[in-house]
């Protein structure tokens, strides 16, 4: 976890993600990324000079096979406050609207439910588990599917919700996140969504993997270009 904490603290400092007295809700899907983020922020709060609170929030989309109990047990053992928010997102997307390309709408609805829950609980910041590789994938998703240069921001203020979204893992590579999850025996819940592994993001993952064989430093070049350009809040002050 030391390497993850190093990446996390650098991102937090570079983009001023945490202020004294912050109450930070971590969006916990139960996947490796969100579990590593929750664990790392919980560790960081022990020695970070700015005092802040952390809790985990899971948005239950309504899949019958989804079982958050491993995360519940983990949080209880660590003393981390944790809440599961039940929703009908699965019914709305798959049964009522019968979406054939549901990922974008699903993401918006999940984040909406997460932000609403955080605000109701008095938490002004929501931490999301996007890592370095997610940054590169989102850049190519924007470029190839939307025809624009852009990406999500390290820090975003949502006016209507009066909530900040922060992404403290943006410097951490996916293989380091995966390694940290394994080495620290973090519980990981299998994603019950039928679209898992079949999305545009998966196509982009494959594209980056293949292109990187010819251009091994592709990810580093794209990430560096984002930071130097300063677009979407990526410039380091």
| pLDDT averaged per 10 residues in sequence order, the chain, 237 residues | 96 97 96 97 96 96 88 96 93 80 83 93 96 97 94 93 95 97 93 72 94 97 95 88
CATH top-level class of 2-232: alpha beta
Confidence at residue 61, expressed as pLDDT on a 0 to 100 scale = 87
Confidence at residue 197, expressed as pLDDT on a 0 to 100 scale = 63
pTM of the complete model beyond 0.85: yes
Confidence at residue 195, expressed as pLDDT on a 0 to 100 scale = 66
Which residues of 61-182 form beta strands (DSSP E)?
82-86, 125-127, 155-158, 163-166
Q: Which of 179-186's residues contact partners 24+ apart within 8 Å by CB, and which partners?
A: 180/1, 180/3, 180/4, 180/36, 180/39, 180/40, 181/32, 181/35, 181/36, 183/1, 184/1, 184/36, 184/39, 186/32, 186/35, 186/36, 186/39, 186/74
Residues with Cβ < 8 Å from 233, sequence gap 6 or more? 15, 153, 154, 155, 156
Confidence at residue 91, expressed as pLDDT on a 0 to 100 scale = 85
Residues with Cβ < 8 Å from 150, sequence gap 6 or more? 139, 142, 231, 232
Confidence at residue 192, expressed as pLDDT on a 0 to 100 scale = 77
Q: What are the residue boundaries of the structural domains of the chain, listed by start? A: 2-232
Confidence at residue 198, expressed as pLDDT on a 0 to 100 scale = 64
Bridge-partner residues for 86, per DSSP? 60
Find tokens 């819940």 and name the residue. 189
């Amino acid at each position: 976890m030391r390497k993850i904490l190093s990446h996390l603290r650098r991102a937090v400092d570079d983009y001023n993600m945490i202020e004294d007295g912050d109450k930070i809700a971590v969006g916990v899907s139960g996947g490796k990324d969100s579990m590593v983020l929750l664990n790392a922020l919980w560790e960081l709060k022990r020695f970070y000079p700015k005092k802040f609170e952390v809790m985990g929030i899971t948005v239950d989309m309504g899949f019958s096979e989804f079982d958050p109990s491993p995360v519940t047990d983990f949080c209880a053992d660590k003393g981390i406050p944790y809440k599961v928010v039940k929703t009908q997102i699965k019914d709305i997307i798959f049964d009522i609207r019968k979406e054939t390309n549901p990922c974008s709408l699903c993401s918006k609805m999940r984040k909406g439910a997460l932000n609403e829950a955080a605000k109701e609980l008095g938490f002004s910041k929501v931490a999301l588990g996007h890592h370095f590789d997610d940054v590169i994938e989102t850049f190519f998703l924007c470029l190839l599917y939307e025809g624009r240069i852009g990406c999500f921001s390290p820090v975003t203020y949502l006016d209507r919700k009066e909530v900040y979204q922060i992404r403290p893992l943006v410097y951490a590579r996916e293989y380091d996140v995966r390694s940290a999850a394994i080495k620290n025996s973090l519980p990981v819940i299998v994603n019950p969504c039928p679209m898992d592994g079949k999305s545009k993001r998966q196509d982009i993952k494959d594209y980056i993997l293949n292109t990187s064989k010819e251009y091994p430093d592709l990810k580093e070049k794209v990430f560096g270009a984002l930071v130097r350009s300063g677009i979407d809040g990526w410039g380091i002050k």
